[in-house]
Amino acid sequence: MTWEQVMELNRTAQLRQLMTEYLQQFAMMASRFDGTTDRSAELVTVIDAYSAFITDEANRAAWEQLEQEAGPELARLAEELRRTSARCVSIMEKYRALKLLNGNAARTEYFQNIESCIETEFGSFQISSGSKVLMVGAGSFPMTPLMIARRTDAEVIGIDIDAEAVRLGRKVAELLGSGLRIRLERASVEQLADAGDLTHIIFSSTIAQKYELLDRLHPLTNGRVVAAVRYGDRLKSLFNYPSQQVDARKWKLVDTILRPDHVFDIALYQKA
């Protein structure tokens, strides 16, 4: 075995070890969430470290090597890590909302990472004051709806399957977005009365069923709508649900916005 091969082996073994450790930390933090912000700082530290891990160039190469060598048990570890880290991001949004509502707000690297993306989300399909935007997975701290409504004056509807996220999200929107056109609902896409008027749709990256929801939105929406699916492939798939093929009779991929320094990338679709 050459020296380079030994080094390669070390890097992939280290990566697998780190994945196992992150999974243990996320699982522990998800199980300890008790509706208070007592463990907020601890979770923020892990999520910020994990965001750096996911966007680290050196880890990207090691992941590609590991993926080639490893079998189904690596795929299971990756799936668990994706699911558990997504749960922790939802919890972190709850902490952020609770802290804001208790008068104790703070920024973290992860949120800066997400917020800095909003300008580029739709590439050349810009949002304006006449737009109607749907965010699927608006979260407890609906930063994307707030930033869009504030910067563009568009009407924004956010939906979420988590009733507590909707309840907290509404309070945050009241506090930070008073006067803005934001509506948050616990509704399925079929329950949206105005789906036919949507001009833009954004899917959170951490939604497992986002491509199924895109498919279901096809018959409900008009011919000009643009859908932005946040996703993460390869190493980024440890923190995001990856991109998928779409039904070519329904949707076509019109642009991909790759962001090497950010936790997720964006795929833009229009009707076929």
- Helices in the chain by DSSP H: which ranges? 3-32, 40-54, 57-69, 72-101, 109-115, 143-152, 163-176, 210-217
Q: CA nearest 142: which of 94, 209, 70, 82?
A: 94
Nearer to ligand SAM, 16 or 99 (CB): 99
**Residue 199 CB, nearest distance to ligand SAM (Å)?**
19
CB of 197 to ligand SAM, least distance (A): 20
Please identify which residue in 205, 221, 237, 243 interacts with ligand SAM, judged by CB under 6 A: 205
d(CA 189, CA 182): 17
Please state, in angstroms and rounded to a whole number, the distance separating the CA atoms of residues 220 and 215: 10
Q: Is 204 in the site for ligand SAM (CB under 6 A)?
A: yes
**Site stretch for ligand SAM (CB under 6 A), options 1-9, 118-126, 131-139, 243-251:** 131-139
Binding mask 218-257 for ligand SAM (x = CB under 6 A): ------------x---------------------------
Residue 209 or 270 with smaller CB distance to ligand SAM: 209
Provide the mask over 93-112, with x wherever binding to ligand SAM is found by CB under 6 A and - wherever it is not.
x-------------------
Binding test (CB under 6 A) with ligand SAM, winner from 156, 159, 195, 226: 159
CA-CA-CA-CA torsion for 232, 77, 26, 96, nearest 10 degrees?
20
Out of 40, 90, 152, 243, name the contact with ligand SAM by CB under 6 A. 90
Give phi and psi for 147, each to the nearest 5.
-70, -40
Q: Which residue in the set 62, 114, 133, 172 belongs to the binding site for ligand SAM (CB under 6 A)? A: 114
Piece of the chain touching ligand SAM by CB under 6 A; list 19-27, 52-60, 135-143, 190-198: 135-143
- 107 vs 224 by CB, closer to ligand SAM: 107
Nearest to 117 by CA among 213, 242, 260, 240: 260
d(CA 110, CA 116): 10
Which amino acid type is present at position 268?
Answer: L
If one asks whether residue 89 binds ligand SAM (CB under 6 A), the answer comes out as: yes
Q: Closest by alpha carbon to 35, among 81, 83, 99?
A: 99
* Residue 44 binds to ligand SAM (criterion: CB under 6 A): no
Does 157 contact ligand SAM by CB under 6 A? no
φ, ψ (nearest 5 deg) of residue 60: -60, -45
Q: What is the DSSP string of 11-33?
A: HHHHHHHHHHHHHHHHHHHHHH-
Please select the residue that binds ligand SAM; options are 209, 220, 250, 253, rule is CB under 6 A.
209
* Residue 95: Cβ-neighbour burial (10 angstroms; 0-12, 13-18, 19+): buried
Contact footprint for ligand SAM (CB under 6 A): 89-90, 93, 114, 136-137, 139, 159-162, 165, 204-207, 209, 230
